[in-house]
A and B are shown apart, each in its own frame.
Chain A
Amino acid sequence: MASRFALIVACLALASPGYAEDRIQVVTTTTDLRSLTEAVGGERVAAVSLVPANMDAEDYQPKPQDVLRLKNARLLVRVGLDYDLWVDRPLAQVGRTEIRRGGPAYVDASFGIAVLELRGMSVGPSDGHAHGSGNPHYWLDPKNAEIITGTLLEALARIDPTNAAAYETNRQVFLTRLNAKLAEWETKLAPLQGMPIVAYHNSWPYFARRFRLDFVGFIETKPGVPPSPSHLAGIVKTMRERNVRIVVREPQEPERDVAFVASKTGAFVVKLAASVGALPRTDDYIALFDANVEALTSAAAKQ
């Protein structure tokens, strides 16, 4: 009885603001960056993501609570590349210069990333993708985590120099684990190399580059624009010609279009998570890849 009471007290103490204030409050825009921040910061940071797990981060509407979170943030980490433009308004509202662009506590995680599919214009009639400043889904290449955690390490060391060595160690431990896992994922996905795949949204170029997967088409023409009949007919045609057996859908994407295309061609629908927490058993960055690799290999094994 006494031990249980002690446990409850301990839990309450851990959850109390007093304890939380000791830790560095980091606000990230997405759960992926939260997971990577936790990997580098360890016990010393309390990271919170503005976009809840399993919501579309490209289309998020900030809540009043988010302004409060930004007010108390020691560090802001964002995806950049026009992915989380919605954070600019609450940032302006909070008005703290240190977490705004150029401030010491502002981290654009896309810094130093080799960006794919750059088109130079944010919206053009000719390009099929509205991510004009490059495809923003760069965290889906596990190798890019090395660069992102590097940027995070630098930022954390800047605001908390006394613990810089601990952050450095955390990052090394994480990267060692990640590289071991990466080798495992690469072996597991080797049979899928060159296998044609269709996805709903173009979230996967970095993932495809790392694991040498062939995404041959996308069901939507631009983010948020429903497919037109001729585009859908074109996709079905491509899928029949190239014998595409796998259609990738993220949990927040419309079920019907994907199911329609799959039923016309007899392909399997594979649910993949493009962000940490979007599906069950994707609670951190490494688990995210574990789950996706698992889903892809089991779908490929079914044929």
Chain B
Amino acid sequence: MIEPLLFLWPSFLVAVCLVGIHAYFGIQVLARKVIFVDLALAQIAALGATVAFMLGHPAQSPATYGYSLSFTLLAAVLLAFTRSWGTRVPQEALIGVIYVVAAAAAILLIDRAPQGAEHLKQILTGNILTSGFNEIAVIVPLYAAVGVLHWLLRHRMTGTGALIWEFVFYASFGVVVTSSVTIAGVLLVFSFLIIPAAIGVMFASTLANQLAIGWIVGTFTSAVGLAASFAFDLPTGAAMVCAFGVALAVAGLLYPFLRGNRQIAWRVMITAARWTGATILAGSALQLAVTPRADQPLIDLIEYAVPSLRTLYFTRAELTTFVDASEYAERYRNEAEQLNDVERRNRTEGAALDDFSVARISSFLKSYGEMRKGEQFVMGEVRARARERIRWGASLGLLAFALLVAPVPWRRLWVRAKR
């Protein structure tokens, strides 16, 4: 229990710092309705880093940071202008274009470089897991400075003031994003920015309350994401982004219960759930009737959870064949694993196998693979035939069940039909 904590808590501290500044900027961004501005700025920063990288500067050097920052500041000028440019094209469209062009330009630049693909992926997913006190030492003073600046200028940062204040906003935002994207990647930074802020805006109306809610939700969700990534052996950045997505979904679901009419909320939720269930059932019925041999996600899922369901529609002979085949497939897999293990251990232990023995092991492995595939084919075939046999009955049953689940006012329809 101690070990995961020791391993994760530097990343957690980094996440808390990032949530701290991004929740604030997120509220500002939501108010200005420039949701994707951070993606654009992040991508511009990444383009700057790519240029530095192409010029031979190492990834985490001051020179690289300088290039990123100057690119971002240029973009900030551009963004500040787009608000007052006053064409009929919305600002969000221009932000999107900046993002796409910066991303494409980075691909063009990096295409011929070693580590190029890796560099681009790094921009997207970041590396919060391996970040720690080195990063905290840089971002804490930086974010504190930006925070103080914004507090001092709090009456100017309304999004409606003079152009210079818009520039200050985008420039300071760019400074923050430039540093955070190198740590956490574009995807995670976007989640830090938008989701705590959105939840805050959902449940509070003053900036202070929105920030408080955003910080609490962001910190808690980061902890959950990190823990899930450790417990379920998942890539950290992606796990955290999904945790934030779940947080927003939960907040969205809770909102009508906490802020709206509870009865109406229940009614809407139950109706939606029933329609969803009915649609899934009817779709599965149709899928089974039309293409019984194709994947049946619903039936497969239920069979996976309750394997004894097969006894309901397999004949005795089919069941025996199916079980046999699955046992053989497992046996072949085990045999192959053992051979692989023998070969791997022999690389360093005992006398070296000669090339002929290695070739023999290799061809055995190939045969086991083929045999296992054969057994799996048998399993699939048996199941497909059994499903073909029951397709009409079962799909009618599913359809009837779908009609039962669907929130159709049967009684009223019945009465009207009788009249």
Measured CB to CB, the residues of A under 8 A from B are 52, 54-56, 59, 114-121, 126, 134, 143, 193-194, 205, 208-209, 212-214, 221, 225-233, 251-257, 259-260, 278
Contact with A along B332-360 (1 / 0, CB 8 A): 01001000100110011000100100110
Q: Is the CB of A55 within 8 A of B235?
A: no
Shortest CB–CB separation between residue B278 and chain A, in angstroms?
A: 32
A58 vs B347: C-alpha distance in the bound complex, in angstroms? 25
- Please tell me which stretch of B2-10, B215-223, B404-412 contacts chain A, meaning at least 4 of its Cβ atoms lie within 8 angstroms of it: B2-10
Residues of B within 8 A of A259 (CB): 130
Shortest CB–CB separation between residue A149 and chain B, in angstroms?
A: 16
Residue from A121, A194, A255 within 8 A of B369 (CB atoms): A121
A230 vs B232: C-alpha distance in the bound complex, in angstroms? 8
Q: Is the CB of B348 within 8 A of A257?
A: no
Q: Is the CB of B347 within 8 A of A212?
A: yes
Residue in chain B with minimal CB distance to A120: B369
Q: A-B pairs with the 6 shortest C-beta distances? A: A120-B369, A118-B365, A114-B359, A260-B130, A54-B114, A114-B362
Interface size, chain B (Cβ < 8 Å): 49
Measured CB to CB, the residues of B under 8 A from A are 3-4, 7-8, 11, 59, 112, 114-118, 122, 125, 127, 129-130, 226, 229-237, 239, 333, 336, 340, 343-344, 347-348, 352, 355, 358-359, 361-363, 365-366, 368-370, 372-373
Q: Is the CB of A212 within 8 A of B352?
A: yes
A156 vs B235: C-alpha distance in the bound complex, in angstroms? 46
A47 vs B122: C-alpha distance in the bound complex, in angstroms? 34
A116 vs B346: C-alpha distance in the bound complex, in angstroms? 12
Residue in chain A with minimal CB distance to B360: A114
Q: Is the CB of A254 within 8 A of B117?
A: no
Shortest CB–CB separation between residue B340 and chain A, in angstroms?
A: 6
Q: Is the CB of B129 within 8 A of A229?
A: yes
A225 vs B115: C-alpha distance in the bound complex, in angstroms? 15
Q: Is the CB of A118 within 8 A of B362?
A: yes
- Most B CB atoms within 10 A — which of A193, A228, A229, A256? A229
Known: A55-B116, A228-B230, A228-B236. A256 touches B127 (CB 8 A): yes
Q: Is the CB of A252 within 8 A of B352?
A: no
Residue in chain A with minimal CB distance to B373: A120
Residue in chain A with minimal CB distance to B363: A114
Residues of B within 8 A of A254 (CB): 115, 118, 122, 127
A114 vs B340: C-alpha distance in the bound complex, in angstroms? 13
Residue in chain B with minimal CB distance to A59: B117
A260 vs B358: C-alpha distance in the bound complex, in angstroms? 36
Q: Is the CB of B235 within 8 A of A56?
A: no
Residue in chain B with minimal CB distance to A226: B235
Q: Could you jot down 13 A-B contacts, CB within 8 Å?
A: A114-B361, A114-B362, A119-B336, A208-B347, A212-B347, A212-B348, A225-B235, A228-B239, A230-B230, A233-B7, A233-B230, A252-B116, A256-B127
Q: Is the CB of B348 within 8 A of A194?
A: yes
Q: Is the CB of B348 within 8 A of A252?
A: no
A249 vs B234: C-alpha distance in the bound complex, in angstroms? 22
Residue from A59, A121, A213, A257 within 8 A of B347 (CB atoms): A213
Q: Is the CB of B236 within 8 A of A229?
A: yes
Residues of A within 8 A of B234 (CB): 228
Q: Known contacts A116-B362, A208-B348, A230-B230; can you find 16 more A-B pairs with CB under 8 A? A: A114-B355, A114-B363, A117-B343, A118-B369, A120-B336, A120-B369, A205-B347, A208-B347, A212-B352, A221-B233, A227-B235, A229-B226, A230-B233, A252-B118, A257-B127, A257-B130
Residue from B116, B231, B366 within 8 A of A230 (CB atoms): B231
Known: A114-B358, A228-B235, A229-B7. A120 touches B368 (CB 8 A): yes
A214 vs B344: C-alpha distance in the bound complex, in angstroms? 9
Residues of A within 8 A of B115 (CB): 251-254
Residues of A within 8 A of B4 (CB): 229-230, 233
A143 vs B365: C-alpha distance in the bound complex, in angstroms? 21
Known: A212-B352, A254-B122. A120 touches B372 (CB 8 A): yes
Residue in chain B with minimal CB distance to A53: B114
Residue in chain A with minimal CB distance to B3: A233
Residue from B117, B125, B365 within 8 A of A120 (CB atoms): B365
Residue in chain A with minimal CB distance to B8: A229
Residue in chain B with minimal CB distance to A113: B362
Q: Is the CB of A55 within 8 A of B114?
A: yes
Shortest CB–CB separation between residue B128 and chain A, in angstroms?
A: 10
Known: A114-B355, A213-B347. A52 touches B8 (CB 8 A): no
Residues of A within 8 A of B233 (CB): 221, 228, 230-231
Q: Is the CB of B340 within 8 A of A117?
A: yes
- Most A CB atoms within 10 A — which of B114, B239, B361? B114
- Most B CB atoms within 10 A — which of A55, A134, A205, A230? A230
Q: Is the CB of A229 within 8 A of B362?
A: no
Shortest CB–CB separation between residue B276 and chain A, in angstroms?
A: 28
- Most B CB atoms within 10 A — which of A117, A205, A256? A256
Q: Is the CB of A214 within 8 A of B347?
A: yes
- Most A CB atoms within 10 A — which of B117, B231, B368? B117
Residue in chain A with minimal CB distance to B7: A233
Residues of A within 8 A of B366 (CB): 115, 118, 120
A230 vs B117: C-alpha distance in the bound complex, in angstroms? 25
Shortest CB–CB separation between residue A163 and chain B, in angstroms?
A: 30
Residue in chain B with minimal CB distance to A228: B233
Q: Is the CB of A209 within 8 A of B340?
A: no
A209 vs B359: C-alpha distance in the bound complex, in angstroms? 13
Residues of B within 8 A of A212 (CB): 347-348, 352
Residues of B within 8 A of A231 (CB): 233
Shortest CB–CB separation between residue B119 and chain A, in angstroms?
A: 9
Residues of A within 8 A of B118 (CB): 56, 252-254
Q: Is the CB of B116 within 8 A of A134?
A: no
Residues of A within 8 A of B116 (CB): 55, 252
Residues of A within 8 A of B359 (CB): 114
Residues of B within 8 A of A121 (CB): 369, 372-373
Shortest CB–CB separation between residue B56 and chain A, in angstroms?
A: 14
Residue in chain A with minimal CB distance to B365: A118
Residue in chain A with minimal CB distance to B130: A260
Residues of B within 8 A of A251 (CB): 114-115
